[in-house]
Chains A and B, each alone.
Chain A
Amino acid sequence: MISDITVPPAAIFIIGALLIPLFRGRMKQLYLLLIPAVAFLDVLYIQEGTYWIHPFLEYDLILGRVDLLSKCFGYVFTIAAFCMTLYALHVKETGQHVAAFIYVGSALGVVFAGDLLTLFIFWEFLAWSSVCLVWYRRRKASIDAGFRYLMVHVAGGVILLGGIILYMQENGGSIAFDAFDYGSPGTIMILIGFLINAAVPPLHAWLPDAYPEATITGAVFMTAFTTKTAVYVLARGFAGVELLMWLGAIMALYGVVYAVLENDIRRLLAYHIVSQVGYMVCGIGLGTAMALNGTTAHAFCHILYKGLLFMGMGAVIYMTGKNKLTELGGLYKVMPLTLILYMIGAFSISGFPLFNGFISKSMIIHAAALDHNAIIFLMLGCAAVGTFLHTGLKLPYFVFFGKDAGIKAKDPPVNMLLGMGAAAFLCTLLGCYPQILYRILPFQSVEYHPYAPAHVIGTIQLLLFTYVAFLLLIKKLAGEPTISLDTDWFYRKGGVLFMWALHNPLARGTQWTIDATLAVKDFAVWFSKNPAEALGIVVDKVCIKVLRISEGVTAGEESAEKVLASRIQAYPGEPVRRDPIGVSVLLGTIFLFAYLVIYVVAPHLSVYSMIGLLMVALLAGIGVRVREMMRGVEG
């Protein structure tokens, strides 16, 4: 049996990643390319079925649930990993390769996971490995963006785990990962966890925040795996949930709108990931066999062309060191190969006939038409226009043509061009021979023919007239040196507010309680060294205050103050007072008498009168002492 020799594809990448540090130079490069190739063959030869079941506690963890849907994602993940590794081959730092491979491996782990616990474990791996790809850029902006990225994904992971636990309670401990019966609290939480990774607005801001801050090669990897694993789990768990249809269509347009405003070239592309994933989410919401086939096909094609686009713009940043539309221009003279390869990706994402976007995007739009849903049909058509406008026209125009910024650069290293070339080849191959892709889609019963004359002509008209409008309004489209506020505003500004609240009211409040406690402690220590003397000092302090208020500054008060100062200095002095025995006896008698009075009289008095009596006694004592002080001066 050939399936006996296959292993979980995730294991190839993750174990393979850990062995990378053993290799150097050419051997390392060869080894890096070997891993995705072996993983692809592995996916190719796995038979459909359920494999690699490991008992854990009282559950069975399933590492290999293989069917057409998971295999389709498995193919594209391994193929994309190969192209991207080729593109990243010049990177010397081993850690970056390790992080990227663990990232790819955990994405494959999610795709082949047959139960929710396995899914969750790989889900967490996905977040932690990908954040390394952001941090390896080592700039402050990247470190910050990485922490925000991690914060969102960890929150998403916790929500997912909470959802899984609730789901297990609802279903008698079942951890099966199949189509959910959407509606219970557990499934809603699982859905939210999935939607965060799919970057569905308003939970999407982590994507355009972090991807443009990642390393050149790391960003290329990130475009493919996080959002597409989310698309996979949504397609498996929540197909046909109508909410997703609307969210997806809104998402497709949302990305387009923000892309108009964007000045950072990779952030512009990142907003188009949001837009393109919108098509897939919409297809999942439609939920028909045609729509789900379209979603799968579009995910497949999207990974290839979006990787290619990020590779192209990554090459521009790598060679010029600039990443803003306002700083770039006229690069076609110095980076012509990059331009050509980029344009293949741009034509693909725009859905030009003969490129792969055409054969996949149109399936989802066609599914909307079959569903007689005119609004979705028009929204997705409008998003297609926007996609061509930005990725196919605006971005290349202002980067490669437009005003010549006079930048000295050349085409990137051969391995980067080869990686782009491989992706570009696959984009056109699938565009020209769509049956290669259609044969591996999950629903083999539906047929779709993209090259119907009306469809081809319609698409060409749509795109050509978009071009006309672009030429007319080109002045309005030039980049502006700004950034756009998105929903990350709430946690970025909210975070600042939170930190302010920590540093000011909360920290000060805490410090005050500490200070107050310490002051009480200090006083108690001071007081207990010589209570009698201490009591005298405290009383004298009060008396001096009283004297000053009643008489103003007088000679008596001043001399009393001097005496007090010397007493404070001498404190604690001799704790034991050497008084004659008679004084002690007198004091004892007074205390016993006071006790007797309290014992006999107190039960007959109310609390208030007791307090009143005490106050009178206190005032009388102070009065006596004040008189003494005044007399002391006279004398």
Chain B
Amino acid sequence: MWFLERWLDNPATVRKMVYLLYASLIISCLLGFVVQYGMAPPEHAEEHEGFAFEQIPVFSAIYGFICCVAIIILSKAFGHAGIMVEEDYYDK
């Protein structure tokens, strides 16, 4: 599929995609505010009141970021503490 290649090898497109990412980050946060403060809760939604931490603005974004960083760093630390071994470990 030639178009994929032409797109992704073109620095201009890549730059555009980076801008698109920034834009979507901002838009998603803005929409988060709108949903939290601007909209009446829909009829069927949420028989539960939600957790207190969910009241923090853009909680999901913050949580996602922290979790991702934590998963990467902690797992790698765990792995390098003796869990990751040579590929022929079991053959020896």
Q: Point out residues on A near B: beta carbons under 8 Å.
A: 256-258, 260-261, 332-333, 336-337, 339, 369-370, 372, 374, 377-378, 381-382, 385-386, 389, 401, 447, 449, 452-454, 457-470, 472-473, 476-477, 480-485, 492
Q: Does B19 contact A (CB under 8 A)?
A: no
Given B35, B74, B78, B87, which contacts A454 in the complex, CB threshold below 8 Å?
B35
The interface residues of chain A lying within 8 Å CB-to-CB of B61 are 461-462, 464-465
Q: Is the interface of B mostly helix, strand, loop or mixed?
A: helix
Question: Contacts A257-B78, A454-B36, A467-B21 given: A447-B84 contact, CB under 8 Å?
Answer: no
Q: How far is the CB of A447 from chain B (nearest CB, A)?
A: 7
- Give the shortest distance, in Å, between A344 (CB) and chain B (any CB): 15
Provide the B55-82 mask, 1 if CB < 8 A to any CB of A, else 0.
Answer: 0001111111101111111111011001
Report the minimal beta-carbon distance from B19 to chain A, rounded to whole angstroms.
14
Judge whether A461 and B1 touch: CB under 8 Å. Answer: no
Q: Is the CB of A382 within 8 A of B21?
A: no
**Contact (A466, B72) CB under 8 Å given A261-B83, A447-B44:** no
Contacts of B68 in A (CB 8 A): 385-386, 389, 465-466, 469-470, 473
- A261 with B79: CB separation less than 8 A: yes
When A and B form their complex, which 4 residue pairs have the shortest distance between CB atoms, in order from nearest? A469-B68, A260-B75, A462-B64, A336-B1
B85 in contact (CB, < 8 A) = yes
Known: A385-B71, A389-B68, A468-B65. A461 touches B58 (CB 8 A): yes
Question: Is the C-beta of B11 less than 8 angstroms from some C-beta in chain A?
Answer: no
Min Cβ gap A474→B in Å is 10
Chain B residues with CB under 8 Å of chain A are: 1, 4-5, 8, 21, 24-25, 28-29, 31-32, 35-36, 39, 41-42, 44-48, 50-51, 53, 58-65, 67-76, 78-79, 82-87, 89-90
Find out whether the CB atom of A483 lies under 8 angstroms from the CB atom of B87. Answer: yes
Given contacts A385-B68, A469-B65, contact A457 B28 (CB under 8 A): yes
B76 near A260 with CB under 8 A, answer yes
Asked if residues A332 and B83 are in contact (CB atoms below 8 Å), the reply is no
Is the CB–CB distance between A466 and B65 below 8 Å?
yes
Summarize A's interface: helix, strand, loop or mixed.
Answer: helix
Given contacts A261-B84, A482-B84, 10 further A-B contacts (CB under 8 A): A260-B76, A336-B1, A336-B4, A378-B63, A382-B70, A382-B71, A385-B67, A452-B45, A464-B25, A465-B60
The answer, among B42, B62, B71, for a CB contact under 8 Å with A260, is B71
22 inter-chain pairs at a CB distance below 8 angstroms, sorted by A residue, are A258-B75, A260-B72, A260-B75, A260-B76, A454-B36, A454-B46, A457-B31, A457-B60, A461-B61, A462-B64, A463-B64, A465-B25, A466-B67, A467-B21, A469-B65, A469-B68, A469-B69, A470-B68, A483-B84, A483-B86, A483-B87, A485-B82
Q: B75 contacts A485, CB within 8 Å?
A: no
Query: Would you call B5 and A332 a contact (CB within 8 A)?
Result: yes
